[in-house]
Amino acid sequence: KAGVTQTPRYLIKTRGQQVTLSCSPISGHRSVSWYQQTPGQGLQFLFEYFSETQRNKGNFPGRFSGRQFSNSRSEMNVSTLELGDSALYLCASSLYIGAGNTIYFGEGSWLTVV
Amino acid sequence: TQLLEQSPQFLSIQEGENLTVYCNSSSVFSSLQWYRQEPGEGPVLLVTVVTGGEVKKLKRLTFQFGDARKDSSLHITAAQPGDTGLYLCAGPSNAGGTSYGKLTFGQGTILTVHP
């Protein structure tokens, strides 16, 4: 079955702009989570959605937001981009929400802010 | 806040050597997972360990979960160039006593195996 699909794979934005990243989970998966990966901070949790509701949020400023649609697809948005937002943004999906759950990552969206 | 510390951060070895990567925490985790990530790709789950003292083997990779469920190790026997990558340990974070899909990741170990 198809894996987690993220679009776009690569993008370059200018400081102050906003960006929207998209994630299509594995078919049948209802939980989608987002992570930011940078060389300095490693993988950090952004937020998790299940049944169109945000269930958990990491320690990121309000410029980072997301949503989930009825078909489980998810988008995340970063407004007023800063140079430090340059990172690999990873989406992961899982069947349900809860401990011991196996999550599957997409290949990520590489964002460069100049 | 639950933290996971991995060591070493970098490992450069010759093909055929053995190596061990450690993942330690002062907190108890209900389970720990190990991922491998290759350049330009997302992390791929290798194994999940759940029971304290559990040992799991995946071909030349051996994973162990500490008895107290605060630490884990990954041992690779006779490393091959194809083992090169970023190895990450991760555990579910507790939020208000209920675990969600939020994972806490270690900083990772970059392994390079030279032919």
Q: Is residue B34 very low, low, confident or very high in pLDDT (cuts 50, 70, 90)?
A: very high
Instruction: Answer yes or no: is pLDDT of A100 > 70.
Output: no
- Chain B residues in contact with A94 by the CB 8 A cut-off are 101
User: Mean per-residue pLDDT for A76-92?
Assistant: 97
**Type of residue found at B37:** Q
Q: Is the dihedral of CA A81, A51, A5, B61 positive or negative?
A: positive
Closest to B23 in 3D by CA, of B70, B55, B59: B70
**A85 Cβ contact partners less than 8 Å away, ≥ 6 residues apart:** A78, A111, A113
Quote the pLDDT of residue A99.
Answer: 58
Contact flag B43-A102 (C-beta cutoff 8 Å): no
How far apart CA B31 and CA B33 sit, in angstroms, is: 7
Q: Is residue A96 very low, low, confident or very high in pLDDT (cuts 50, 70, 90)?
A: confident
Cβ of A104: how many Cβ atoms within 10 Å?
18
Contact flag B101-A105 (C-beta cutoff 8 Å): no
* Contact residues, A window 16-45, toward B, CB-based 8 Å cutoff: 31, 33, 35, 42-45
Quote the pLDDT of residue B97.
Answer: 45
> What confidence tens digit (pLDDT) does each residue in B40-99 have?
899 999 999 989 999 999 999 999 999 999 999 999 999 999 999 999 999 987 654 444
For residue B97, count CB atoms less than 10 angstroms from its CB and return exposed for 0-12, middle for 13-18, buried for 19 or more: exposed
Instruction: Answer yes or no: is pLDDT of A1 > 60.
Output: no
- Chain B residues in contact with A42 by the CB 8 A cut-off are 88, 105-108
- Chain B residues in contact with A89 by the CB 8 A cut-off are none
Instruction: Answer yes or no: is pLDDT of B109 > 90.
Output: yes
Pair B11, B83: CB distance under 8 Å? no
Strands (E), chain A: 5-7, 10-13, 19-24, 31-38, 42-50, 53-57, 64-68, 74-78, 87-94, 104-105, 109-113
**A61 Cβ contact partners less than 8 Å away, ≥ 6 residues apart:** none
Which of A50-54, B19-23, B103-107 tops mean pLDDT?
B19-23
Q: Is residue A109 very low, low, confident or very high in pLDDT (cuts 50, 70, 90)?
A: very high
Question: What is the least distance, in Å, from the CA of B41 to any CA of chain A?
Answer: 5
Residue B80: C-alpha distances to residues A44, A96, B9, B19, B74 (Å): 29, 36, 19, 11, 15
Mutate to test the interface with B, among A41, A47, A56, A57 (most CBs of B within 10 A): A56
> What confidence tens digit (pLDDT) does each residue in A67-81 have?
999 999 999 999 999
Residue A93: C-alpha distances to residues A31, A90, B1, B7 (Å): 5, 10, 24, 28
Instruction: Answer yes or no: is pLDDT of A35 > 50.
Output: yes
Question: What is the least distance, in Å, from the CA of A63 to any CA of chain B?
Answer: 20
Quote the pLDDT of residue B32.
Answer: 92
Helix (H/G/I), strand (E/B), else coil: B100: strand
For the ranges A26-35, A93-102, B21-30, B100-109, which has the lowest average pLDDT? A93-102
How far apart CA B102 and CA B34 sit, in angstroms, is: 15
Cβ of B88: how many Cβ atoms within 10 Å?
27
Q: Is residue A21 very low, low, confident or very high in pLDDT (cuts 50, 70, 90)?
A: very high
For residue B18, count CB atoms less than 10 angstroms from its CB and return exposed for 0-12, middle for 13-18, buried for 19 or more: exposed
- Chain A residues in contact with B109 by the CB 8 A cut-off are none
